[in-house]
Amino acid sequence: MDAASQSKTLIRGGWVLTSAPAGSGVAAAIRDGAVVIAGDRIVAVGDYQALRAQHPGAAERGGQFDIVAPGFVNAHGHFSEGLITGIASQYTLWEWLHNLITPVNPTMDREKAYHGTLLQAVQLLRSGVTTANDMFCSDPDPSGPITPGVVAALDEIGLRGVLSFGSGDADRDFEMSPIIDEWDALRESAAASRYSTFRVGIAALGRTTPASFAQAVEYAAGGGHGVHIHLHEVREEVTATMQSTGRTAIAHCAHEGLFDAPTLAAHCVWVDRSDREILAAHGVGVAHNPVANAILASGVAPVAELRALGVDVGIGVDGAASNDAQDFLQAMKTAPLLARIRDLQATAMSAREAFELATIGGARALRMQDSIGSLEPGKKADVVVFDGESPTLAVVHDPYQALVFVAGPREVKDVWVDGKQSVADFDVTRVDPREVSARARPIAARLVAEAGLERLSAFTGAPLAATEQP
């Protein structure tokens, strides 16, 4: 059935912010505009009165004061952290990995993956995210593949996922074969999903032996798969890789052929000009994670310098243990704030630039700009409506500033993913959030006990150490 013969929905906004590029035939901002969707596609974008006349039978959503936007692209996250939110923020990255993530990794299984993903997907949808590029980081589970639980959760709640599994065999009691088995299971599960696609995950160069890294490169480049990897998040990573390979991590990835595959690099905080030029030359996309980088004291990515060289940059919330909130609007707001603090210039990043990073920028970084990231006819029907009746958005002088600096999750009224509503009238449509929370609590408590994290958490009712009392 083609779009013309399907039932249509007309989504009205006092402003429609399309993120459409110049020359596309669609204006970037349309006053009193509308988007018409049918099936899983956008069929028209333009003036409300004209589209209302052209599509008289379309059901109508939105309103004359609302703001309509493309679904946000969360360029980097970790559903593997879904059950350990709000813990261990007193550490910088390497300390945090040692004290929190390393004990958690062996405890992960499909049940935890499913419930943690559902819990965090609710928050992503409520903040307007329609596509989540996620790397599930854990040890492989000898009892069976873990990540099909992520696919099942996203299919259930209605959130698009670009999914990878990131682990490593350096200093571990397993080799590469169980990691490849997990990649195979995730790839097959994603292929059978409406919402998910597969990428090869590489947690970090330092977690992978040279022989296993070569296998990962072959799996990705040889198999025609995209890659999701952490690169240059902290200075220590750059130093360690220079000592072991004689190159920066970015230069080493290029030398070994990883960038022959479409690659999304998370963080890229500690990059010099040579590193930036390598990323640009190989078309590597970058995920900027402003909130997580601030919490873990990692630094501020040089977004302006990367973009000046033509590197595509998106925004990520990062994981639920490193951010800790899965509120994309918070991350979108923090990106220009950190840029302005870094440069001591109010012009360092505008609200419109931040909005573009959150939408078409993230899509380009993932090389998905032909299907998502902007409101244009023929693209996937991923649409967000912000409530213009809310006092928060009662006065809109600049719609970009209104979304980036003013709006919060309470203003996210409706969200369509792939043409189906995943949020309607301010809440998710396919799961009961209270039930999701109730099911997650005992599983999270069990995880804390299994990982021996009682000293970091009051979750089980045990007292914090004396030096950690609030």
pLDDT tier for residue 169 given thresholds of 50, 70 and 90 = confident
Angle at 213 between CA 212 and CA 217, to 5 degrees: 120
How many Å apart are CA 190 and CA 202, to the nearest integer? 18
The predicted structure's pLDDT at residue 458: 54
Listed range (90-94, 328-332, 353-357) with the worst mean pLDDT = 90-94
Task: List the one residue out of 206, 215, 204, 270 whose CA is nearest residue 244.
Answer: 206
The predicted structure's pLDDT at residue 2: 52
- Does residue 353 register a pLDDT over 90? yes
- What 3-state class would DSSP assign to 176? coil
The predicted structure's pLDDT at residue 93: 85
The predicted structure's pLDDT at residue 91: 86
What would the mean pLDDT of 45-60 be, rounded to a whole number? 97
Burial 320-348 (b: 16+ CB within 10 A, else e): bbbbbbbbbbbbbbbbbbbbeebeeeeeb
What would the mean pLDDT of 448-456 be, rounded to a whole number? 85
- Does residue 174 register a pLDDT over 90? no
Q: Which DSSP helix (H) or strand (E) runs through 47?
A: strand 41-47
- Does residue 195 register a pLDDT over 50? yes
Task: List the one residue out of 80, 121, 122 whose CA is nearest residue 102.
Answer: 80
Structure tokens at 357: 């990073």
| 10: β partners | 36, 60
- Does residue 138 register a pLDDT over 90? yes
Question: On the CB side of 458, how many CA atoms lie within 13 Å of its CA?
Answer: 8
| 415: β partners | 384, 423
What would the mean pLDDT of 187-204 be, rounded to a whole number? 97
For residue range 216-265, list pLDDT tens digits in order: 999 999 999 999 999 999 999 999 999 999 999 999 999 999 999 999 99
Structure tokens at 80: 């593997």
The predicted structure's pLDDT at residue 201: 97
- Does residue 32 register a pLDDT over 60? yes
What would the mean pLDDT of 140-161 be, rounded to a whole number? 97
Task: List the one residue out of 323, 289, 318, 292 whose CA is nearest residue 303.
Answer: 289
- Does residue 459 register a pLDDT over 80? no
pLDDT above 90: percentage of residues in the chain: 85
- Name the pairing type of β-strands 285-288 and 412-417: unpaired
Q: Where are the domains of the chain?
A: 3-71+374-425, 72-365
Burial 277-300 (b: 16+ CB within 10 A, else e): ebbbebebbbbbbbbbbbbbebbb
C-beta separation of 317 from 328 below 8 A: yes
The predicted structure's pLDDT at residue 328: 98
- What 3-state class would DSSP assign to 2? coil
- Name the pairing type of β-strands 263-267 and 226-231: parallel
Structure tokens at 213: 């890294």
Q: At what angle do helices 235-245 and 249-256 cross, to 10 degrees?
A: 50
For residue range 288-314, list pLDDT tens digits in order: 999 999 999 999 999 999 999 999 999
How many Å apart are CA 273 and CA 373, to the nearest integer? 28
Listed range (3-7, 38-42, 347-351, 377-381) with the worst mean pLDDT = 3-7
Secondary structure E strands in 179-332: 196-202, 226-231, 263-267, 285-288, 313-315
What would the mean pLDDT of 98-120 be, rounded to a whole number? 93
What would the mean pLDDT of 7-23 be, rounded to a whole number? 96
The predicted structure's pLDDT at residue 69: 98
CATH class of 72-365: alpha beta
pTM of this prediction? 0.94
How many Å apart are CA 16 and CA 18, to the nearest integer? 6
- Does residue 5 register a pLDDT over 60? no
Task: Give me the count of residues in the chain.
Answer: 470
How many Å apart are CA 18 and CA 45, to the nearest integer? 9
How many Å apart are CA 43 and CA 10, to the nearest integer? 10
How many Å apart are CA 55 and CA 49, to the nearest integer? 10
What would the mean pLDDT of 73-77 be, rounded to a whole number? 98
pLDDT tier for residue 467 given thresholds of 50, 70 and 90 = very low
Mean confidence (pLDDT) of the chain:
93
Fold classified for 3-71+374-425: Urease, subunit C; domain 1 (2.30.40)
How many Å apart are CA 247 and CA 180, to the nearest integer? 26
